[in-house]
């Protein structure tokens, strides 16, 4: 008997063990992934070369599991951030944290402030790593905390350092895009010009949230490195400007560690 190996064996097994329901589900997810504005049920069936009755139950199941949502404004089916969240459980997130923690520890030690690393998840920014200030007192954001994509310094930085198409896709998936597009355009232009965000906290007096992007190989923001800068009266603490500059260098170092080619992305160079 001839033994089938390699690609031929793989293709033979595909024919030998068909899983129609799984194939339909993956077809739905892959088609919607390429449609930032979504598709109606009939459009989705047509694109998948299937009848509406064939994919109706599949779509309903994916909606119940949180992978697909129905946009009431456009009457379209769109992907949620569920797949994005699953992707962040995969080792690349561990690699990002491993690259960031040594820089974050040095940063916190040098400026006497806490810092945290956040990624986009489900229309919000999710804190995945945090380092406390070495001082006896301080302010910190805990791992697992979520902050608004449009209202936080880290969220605004994340949105700014995406390409226009990806930014619109992310905004289209927000459950409540309450901010007008003109306001979003304003902060995107401002942050893109400076290379960072630095704004007073709208929750805690005396705290300034400053954030820089951590860029991937394509020059897009993979995460945001942020310091909630706590103003001290004593003179022996790093100034706000010195802290911001050191934060920029740390974000640049983390970006380089995960493979960013910043010199090839003019708008993404750090302004320290």
Q: From CA 21, how far away is CA 62, in angstroms rounded? A: 12
Tokens of 94: 């561990």
Q: Check which CATH number belongs to the domain holding 192 and give it.
A: 3.30.450.40
Cβ proximity of 121 and 97 under 8 Å: no
Q: Which residues have C-beta within 8 Å of that of residue 87, sequence separation ≥ 6? A: 93
Owning domain of residue 159: 86-268
Whether residues 132 and 52 fall in one domain: no
Using alpha carbons, list the distances in angstroms from residue 13 to 18, 25, 27, 64, 263: 8, 19, 19, 31, 46
- Please spell the DSSP secondary structure of 169-237, one letter per residue: HHHHT-S---S-HHHHHHHHHHHHHHSSEEEE-SSSTTEEEEEEEEE-TTS-EEEEEEEEEEP-SSTTS
In a domain, 1, yes or no: no
C-alpha atoms less than 13 angstroms from C-alpha of 69 in its C-beta half-sphere: 17
55-83 per-position pLDDT tens digit: 999 999 999 999 999 888 888 999 988 88
Stretches in the chain below the pLDDT threshold 70: 1-16, 87-92, 175-179, 233-236, 262-272
The angle formed by the CA atoms of residues 15, 21 and 27, to the nearest 5 degrees, is 85
In a domain, 108, yes or no: yes
81-124 per-position pLDDT tens digit: 888 777 656 656 888 999 999 999 999 999 999 999 999 988 89
Tell whether pTM > 0.75.
no
In a domain, 200, yes or no: yes
Residue at a domain's end among 80, 107, 134: 80
At residue 218, the pLDDT reads 84
At residue 5, the pLDDT reads 42
At residue 8, the pLDDT reads 47
- Please spell the DSSP secondary structure of 225-249, one letter per residue: EEEEEEP-SSTTS--HHHHHHHHHH
At residue 2, the pLDDT reads 37
Residue at a domain's end among 57, 80, 103: 80
In a domain, 193, yes or no: yes
Helix (H, G, I), strand (E, B) or coil at 162: coil
Helix (H, G, I), strand (E, B) or coil at 53: helix
Residue at a domain's end among 45, 80, 115: 80
Whether residues 66 and 170 fall in one domain: no
Whether residues 139 and 242 fall in one domain: yes
């Amino acid at each position: 008997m001839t033994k089938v190996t390699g690609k031929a064996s793989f293709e033979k097994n595909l024919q030998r063990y068909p899983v129609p329901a799984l194939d339909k589900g993956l077809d739905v997810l892959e088609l919607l992934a390429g449609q930032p504005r979504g598709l109606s049920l009939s459009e989705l069936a047509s694109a998948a070369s299937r009848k509406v009755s064939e994919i109706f139950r599949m779509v309903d199941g994916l909606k119940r599991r949180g992978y697909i949502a129905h946009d009431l404004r456009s009457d379209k089916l769109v992907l949620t951030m569920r797949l994005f969240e699953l992707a962040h459980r995969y080792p690349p997130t561990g690699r990002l944290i491993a690259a960031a923690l040594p820089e974050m520890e040095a940063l916190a030690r040098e400026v006497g402030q806490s810092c945290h690393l956040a990624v986009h998840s489900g229309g919000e920014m999710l804190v995945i790593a945090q380092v406390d200030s070495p001082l006896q007192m301080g302010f910190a954001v805990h791992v697992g905390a979520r902050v608004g994509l449009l209202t936080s310094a880290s969220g605004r930085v994340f949105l700014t350092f995406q390409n226009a198409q990806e930014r619109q896709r992310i905004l289209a998936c927000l459950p409540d895009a309450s901010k007008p597009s003109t306001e979003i355009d304003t902060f995107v232009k401002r942050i893109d010009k400076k290379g960072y965000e630095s704004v007073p906290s709208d929750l805690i007096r005396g705290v300034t949230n400053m954030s820089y992007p951590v860029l991937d190989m394509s020059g897009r923001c993979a995460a945001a490195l942020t310091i909630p800068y706590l103003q001290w009266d004593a003179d022996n603490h790093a100034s706000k400007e010195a802290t911001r500059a050191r934060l920029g260098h740390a974000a640049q170092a983390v970006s380089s560690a995960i493979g960013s080619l910043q010199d090839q992305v003019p708008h993404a160079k750090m302004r320290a």
